[in-house]
Amino acid sequence: MSVFWQVPQYVLVGASEVFMYVGQLNFFNSQAPDGIKSFGSSLCMMLISLGNYVSSLIVHMVMSITAKGDEVGSIHENLNDGHMERFYFLIAILTVFDFVLYVYCAKRYKCMSVEENGNKPNKEQV
């Protein structure tokens, strides 16, 4: 098995991060008051870095749980000896759970009307 089988997955992850970053920044800028828009941007970056740490934690946990004794774990240096499909199934399950949680939160979210520069919006602006 070649490592190049992972190229489509990494392309999709890269593209999804680009679209997620733009959407997340737009959400923070549109829903935050003027005084804390920069806080929203920094919160966005913090959440991305937190996601990277959680990803590393998941890889470490899978490696330590699946590789016991002389057994080859799911993630192995030699792709022919490991069971990467099990790891990808775990990632797929976590992604479905994350999507369900996202849909639940998105349905319950109520859009805020943010006043710019302290002016109240009139009927024409709304």
Q: What is the pLDDT along the chain (126 residues), one digit of tens a residue?
A: 688 888 998 999 899 888 988 888 888 888 888 788 888 788 888 988 998 899 999 988 888 888 777 777 777 777 677 788 888 899 999 999 999 999 999 999 988 776 555 555 555 555
Residue 68 lies in a domain: yes
Give the model's pLDDT for residue 95: 92
Residue 57 lies in a domain: yes
Give the model's pLDDT for residue 101: 97
Residues 28, 41 contacting (CB under 8 angstroms):
yes
Residue 32 lies in a domain: yes
Residue 121 lies in a domain: no
Spell out the residues 6+ positions from residue 24 whose beta carbon is closer than 8 angstroms to its own: 44, 47
Residue 119 lies in a domain: no
Q: What is the pTM of this model?
A: 0.67
Number of structural domains the chain divides into: 1
**What does the H/E/C string look like for the chain?**
CCHHHHHHHHHHHHHHHHHHHHHHHHHHHHHCCHHHHHHHHHHHHHHHHHHHHHHHHHHHHHHHHHCCCCCCCCCCCCCCCCCHHHHHHHHHHHHHHHHHHHHHHHHHCCCCCCCCCCCCCCCCCC
Spell out the residues 6+ positions from residue 99 whose beta carbon is closer than 8 angstroms to its own: none
Residue 85 lies in a domain: yes
Give the model's pLDDT for residue 120: 53
Residue 35 lies in a domain: yes
Give the model's pLDDT for residue 121: 52
What is the domain extent for residue 31? Answer: 3-108
Residue 102 lies in a domain: yes
